[in-house]
Amino acid sequence: MRKFRQAAFVYLHVGVLYEAAALAMRDYGLLPARFGPTHVYLVMGGVLTALVFVGLYWMRNEWVARVMWVVKAFYLPPLVRRAFFYTLATMRLPPAFYVAGLVVVLTSMGMLARAGWDL
């Protein structure tokens, strides 16, 4: 079905964007060292993205879309807080970074909702 294929490719692109952002943030020293080595999280993110892609594209599983929609919903509060309610003294990244993140997350949530709830 077309909606699952579209959701899968949107999620794949979001995953690639997350990986690129993590690499860029690592290169500029913006990732905290307390989370461990960056390459572990990059591999885990790639595996998760691949699994979600398979679940949406080939398996056409509406529960994959629903679960990932809920996971993405948890991204919204920190993104909104850092995009709109910030102090310049504590910001390491510009608010536009978080506004762009909001656009990406909301777009992917829309495609996941369409696939998961037959909208």
- Cα(43)–Cα(60) distance, integer angstroms: 24
- Paired tokens of 34: 């307390």
Residue 70 — pLDDT band, cuts 50, 70, 90? very high
Is the Cα dihedral 62, 65, 68, 70 positive or negative? Answer: negative
**Model-level pTM?**
0.89
Residue 1 — pLDDT band, cuts 50, 70, 90? confident
Contacts of residues 70-74 at CB distance under 8 Å and 24 or more positions apart, as own/partner, are 72/105, 72/108, 72/109, 72/112, 73/109
Give the total residue count for the chain.
119
| pLDDT, position 119 | 62
> Is residue 60 within a helix (H) or strand (E), and if so which, with residue range?
none
Query: In whole numbers, what is the pLDDT of the chain averaged over residues?
Result: 93
